[in-house]
């Protein structure tokens, strides 16, 4: 088993109203040192061992998990997870 | 400036219907090697340099960003981001 951690973020320049709301809320709560907030998605997948996990993950991200028009993604693969 | 990356995940044992939907969709698309998917949130904050950034981030997470009843959070702090 491999554990794959996927990080999906909005591309630079794409408006992020959810991030803006988080920033405003933090400022309202008194955390005035927060200058910017951007919100993305984080996913953990448990994937069977397979020769080409990386290619598969690329395909999953571009086909389903991220919207390549407005989002970037990155991932890390952890080997040898016992299940 | 410091860049803070925050990862919010559902606690072990908490039902994750969104993750289940992602897993089912991936399986339907032919990615049968995906055994489990869990979905969380990922945030990037740009924070002014400050002596106790870590304490502030802990407070932000527990007060606003995460729901400590059902969610866990972790974060990394990157120093010296130019703005």
pTM: 0.90
- Asked if the model's pLDDT at residue A82 lies above 80, the reply is no
Architecture of domain B2-79: 2-Layer Sandwich (3.30)
Please judge whether A44 and B26 are an interchain contact, meaning their C-beta atoms are less than 8 angstroms apart.
Answer: no
Of A26-30, A33-37, A76-80, B57-61, give the lowest mean pLDDT range: A76-80
A77 at interface of B, judged by CB pairs closer than 8 A: no
Report the C-alpha gap between B22 and B4 in whole angstroms.
27
What is the tens place of the pLDDT at every residue in A28-73?
999 999 999 999 999 999 999 877 899 999 999 999 999 999 999 9
The two structure tokens encoding residue A65: 């998990």
Nearest CA in chain B to A40: B42
What ipTM describes this predicted complex?
Answer: 0.88
Report the C-alpha gap between B54 and B62 in whole angstroms.
12
How would residue B50 be classed by pLDDT, with cut points 50, 70 and 90?
confident
B79 at interface of A, judged by CB pairs closer than 8 A: no
Please judge whether B33 and A50 are an interchain contact, meaning their C-beta atoms are less than 8 angstroms apart.
Answer: yes
The two structure tokens encoding residue B53: 């950034």
B63 at interface of A, judged by CB pairs closer than 8 A: yes
Residue A20, burial from CB neighbour count under 10 angstroms (0-12, 13-18, 19+)? middle
Task: Say if residues A3 and A82 touch (Cβ distance below 8 Å).
Answer: no
Give the residue extent of every domain in chain B. Answer: 2-79
């Amino acid at each position: 088993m491999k554990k794959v951690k996927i990080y999906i973020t909005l591309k630079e320049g794409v408006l992020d109203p959810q991030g803006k709301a988080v920033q405003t809320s933090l400022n309202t709560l008194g955390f005035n040192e927060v200058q910017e907030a951007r919100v993305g998605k984080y996913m953990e997948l448990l994937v069977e061992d397979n020769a080409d996990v990386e290619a598969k993950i690329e395909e999953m991200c571009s086909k389903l998990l991220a919207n390549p028009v407005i989002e970037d993604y990155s991932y890390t693969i952890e080997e040898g997870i016992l299940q």
